[in-house]
Amino acid sequence: MLKAERYRHFVEYFSQNQPNPVTELHYNNPFQLLVAVILSAQCTDKRINQVTPALFERFPTAQDLADSTSDEVFSYIRSVSYPNNKAKHLVGMGKMLMEVFNGEVPSGIENLQKLPGVGRKTANVIASVIFEEPAMAVDTHVFRVANRIGLTNNARTPLAVEKQLVQNIPKEHIAVAHHWLILHGRYICLARSPKCDVCPLTWFCRYYERNNIEAALKRAEAAKEKKVKEAKKKKQLNTISKELKKRSVDN
């Protein structure tokens, strides 16, 4: 199947079956989403949603973070991964929002990436979710699922995956496609053992196609070997039977 066809099926399937996917992180405004996404690096959304209610209550604005210390922020996020670094980033992010961006979350991934703790992936999430820009955040799920389905070819880095996806997904679907891929990777196309038996994408998935062809080839090979062995055995039995008959005639 051509790559363009896979893209068409991918967009058609999810547009019809999951037209309005949303992030599983809990937030009420752009500032809270920015904090939650910074915290979510190398951590689960579930864990982040457990710590953010108290964190948002204590630090409702960028000013509150800017006025705090990383030690205090740490005490609210100690159960997430890399709490020391993330606490420092959050305080630094609050300060920069106040000093450079009037306390508001800026638009545009270049501006967003200036903030401490904000890499390209986080910037793309904010750009697509808050500002509805056609930005594609590539995390581990997006990276894996796009490759398995066959939406990417030889894309070895998140940036390469991002470029190929942005180039091929119609502009109006890029922002939601990020959620489609993440949710599919989180619940069906699991890293260690993808649930292909319940996946609705098998008919255009490259991984499924390849594995099925390989499995079919292996089955055919095994059947051929079995046939050859059986024919050999039959031949041996015939030879023995003829020999026995000959001996009985001679006697």
Q: Does 188 bind ligand SF4 (CB under 6 A)?
A: yes
Of 130-138, 153-161, 173-181, 190-198, the window that binds ligand SF4 (rule: CB under 6 A) is 190-198
| Interface with ligand SF4 (CB under 6 A), residue from 95, 121, 141, 148 | 148
Beta carbon of residue 188, minimum distance to ligand SF4 (angstroms, whole number): 5
Residue 39 interacts with ligand SF4 (CB under 6 A)? no
**What is the C-alpha separation between 55 and 35, in angstroms, rounded?**
9
Work out which of 199, 229, 231, 234 binds ligand SF4, going by CB under 6 A: 199
Annotated catalytic residue, options 139, 163, 218, 232: 139
What's the min distance (Å) between Cβ of 184 and ligand SF4? Answer: 7
Torsion 65-70-71-74 (CA) sign: positive
Alpha carbon distance 85, 88 (integer Å):
5
For ligand SF4, the closer CB: 117 or 194:
194
User: Which CB, 143 or 208, lies closer to ligand SF4?
Assistant: 208
Contacts 24+ apart (CB under 8 A), 7-15: 7/151, 7/168, 7/169, 9/201, 9/203, 9/204, 10/149, 10/151, 10/177, 10/180, 10/201, 10/204, 11/169, 11/170, 11/173, 11/177, 13/200, 13/201, 14/176, 14/177, 14/180, 15/173
Active site residue 224: no
143 binds ligand SF4 (CB under 6 A): no
121 is catalytic: yes
- By CB under 6 A, residue 182 contacts ligand SF4: no
CB burial class (10 A; 0-12, 13-18, 19+) of residue 20?
exposed
Among 29, 153, 202, 238, binds ligand SF4 (CB under 6 A): 202
The answer to whether 77 and 39 have CB atoms below 8 angstroms apart is yes
C-beta of 55 vs 181, nearer to ligand SF4: 181
The crossing angle, in degrees rounded to 10, of helices 70-77 and 83-100 is: 130
205 binds ligand SF4 (CB under 6 A): yes
Contact between residue 87 and residue 71 where contact means Cβ atoms under 8 Å apart: yes
When the beta carbons of 96 and 188 are compared against ligand SF4, the nearer one is: 188
Instruction: Give the active site residues.
Output: 121, 139
Residue numbers in the known binding site are: 189, 196, 199, 205
Sites of contact with ligand SF4 (CB under 6 A): 148-149, 188-189, 194-196, 199, 201-202, 205, 207-208
